[in-house]
Amino acid sequence: MTQYPSLHMIIDGQQIAGGGRRTHAVVNPATGETIGELPLADAADLDRALEVAAEGFRIWRNSTPQQRAAVLQGAARLMVERQEDLARIATMEEGKTLAEARIEVMMNVGLFNFYAGEVFRIYGRTLVRPAGMRSTVTHEPVGPVAAFAPWNFPLGNPGRKLGAPIAAGCSVILKAAEETPASALGVLQCLLDAGLPAQVAQAVFGVPDEVSRHLLGSPIIRKLSFTGSTVIGKHLARLATDNMLRTTMELGGHGPVLVFADADIDRVLDTVVPHKFRNAGQVCVSPTRFIVEEGVFDRFRDGFVERAKAIKVGNGLEEGSQMGPMANPRRPEAMDHLIGDATARGAKLHTGGQRVGNAGYFYAPTVLSEIPLDALIMNEEPFGPVALLNAYSGEDAMIAEANRLPYGLAAYAWTDSAARQKRLAREIETGMLGLNTTMIGGSDSPFGGVKWSGHGAEDGPEGLMACLVTKAVHEG
């Protein structure tokens, strides 16, 4: 039986805790009980981590591709060995079902193995020049990275934040969410146990605004990588401009799902309903606004409600639970607020709309329809187990609704018409589009958004390139 581990920071390979530092209580969202006390960094801890990161960069920028690949592959092997422990810890901290947490471990395994190959393909160019002259373009690691990972993928987010910089030859200071620290520490520990020099990757926790101001204000840091809300992303991007940092910003979304009458409606429902309620809807690419062609709307709504009612909500550690609690008390509060606002403005509530049980942060799978466009929930990312169903007439109106918001992270569309698929692929403003599928990622595929959903991708060759800068050298 996995025990929740004692908590610490990792600075220069040392486990840092105690010493009169402030602490943050880590809570199991299925029970509301405190399961750990996390030490928070003070200014001296952050200064130490920065110094070490500078040294780590001097070491790792000169590492060979073979060394980087060996560390990434070794860490992937250790994650497979430790899969069950890592998954249980993630479920204890975040609430998602064990099945989902196990998949997260394997996402990291896939990504680290992909980057282990990709490090051999950091190619440059030689330019055509007159005899006697040589001009080359090379890609170099950008430098020490400050990476901020949120709580919703407690293993996968730290894996992304660590994998790409390490493959590129950077050092990295990771500040994962204070709500899910043990998962992040578990991922980092696999890298260190696989032989990563201690100076190259470190983990700090703290008061988020203090840590981000301190790290981004230091001349040592050369890149900011952030996943989280658009509001905080904009704030951090402003801080990053002072030191002209490279940025990767993976921010909020409001996933539109276009369902056309020519699609196989039962197949669509069997696919999108589980996808909607994955991690209790706390997923940046969660399908949110269902934009349904009016001829099939009633059938789609009824099938959606039936399937949502059948979802078994329970502790993620228990066999048979299909949806765990929300990750923290802020989320059910946000659901009550957004759903209350929508129904007050005339939206129809078909199921859910309330908390489940007296312990923890459980919220019922919720389906709303006929929601006015000025309802808050039609404009703000709900980040919860709520599906918004509205009927529309015609392709143009459906595309206009998909593009109405300033977000552009993930979009989905279901249609049997090949001609329409081409038009949708061109017209929908999004970083990722699933046509007749919800499988929109993969270790080899760029993951990221446009508009207010951010810029710069993670995963794929693009994620590696985002940690590199180019240098042109001209020799006469």
Question: Which one among 22, 238, 330, 471 touches ligand NAD, defined by CB under 6 A?
Answer: 330
- Decide: is 227 part of the binding site for ligand NAD (CB under 6 A): yes
The answer to whether residues 447 and 225 touch, using CB atoms and an 8 Å cutoff, is no
**Assigned token pair, 241:** 């401009």
Stretch that binds ligand NAD, among 9-17, 92-100, 107-115, 143-151 (CB under 6 A): 143-151
- Decide: is 150 part of the binding site for ligand NAD (CB under 6 A): yes
Question: Which one among 114, 148, 362, 407 touches ligand NAD, defined by CB under 6 A?
Answer: 148
CB of 402 to ligand NAD, least distance (A): 19
Helix (H), strand (E) counts: the chain: 14, 22
Nearer to ligand NAD, 431 or 434 (CB): 431
Q: What angle do CA 192, 197, 199 make, to 5 degrees?
A: 105
Binding mask 4-23 vs ligand NAD (x if CB under 6 A, - otherwise)?
Answer: --------------------
b (16+ CB within 10 A) / e for 235-265: bbbebbeeeebbbbbbbbbbbbbbbbeebeb
**Assigned token pair, 373:** 């466009």
Q: Which of 56, 309, 320, 81 is nearest to 202 (CA)?
A: 56
* Full DSSP string of 74-103: HHHHHHHHTHHHHHHHHHHHH---HHHHHH
Stretch that binds ligand NAD, among 74-82, 102-110, 144-152, 362-370 (CB under 6 A): 144-152
Torsion of CA 236, 440, 167, 141, to 10 degrees: -50
Number of residues that bind ligand NAD (CB under 6 A): 21
**Which 266-305 positions form the footprint of ligand NAD (CB under 6 A)?**
284
- Decide: is 232 part of the binding site for ligand NAD (CB under 6 A): yes
Nearer to ligand NAD, 249 or 391 (CB): 249
Stretch that binds ligand NAD, among 6-14, 246-254, 271-279, 302-310 (CB under 6 A): 246-254
Binding mask 157-196 vs ligand NAD (x if CB under 6 A, - otherwise)?
Answer: --------------------x-------------------
**Distance between CA atoms of 275 and 283, rounded to whole angstroms?**
10
CB of 216 to ligand NAD, least distance (A): 9
**Distance between CA atoms of 19 and 24, rounded to whole angstroms?**
14
Which of 100, 250, 381, 395 is labelled catalytic? 250
Question: Which one among 57, 112, 115, 151 touches ligand NAD, defined by CB under 6 A?
Answer: 151
CA-atom Rg of the chain in angstroms: 23
Torsion of CA 86, 89, 95, 101, to 10 degrees: 10
CB of 92 to ligand NAD, least distance (A): 18
Active-site annotation holds for 250: yes
Residues noted as catalytic: 250, 284
| Chain residues in the site for ligand NAD (CB under 6 A) | 148, 150-152, 177, 208-209, 212, 227-229, 231-232, 236, 250-252, 284, 330, 381, 383
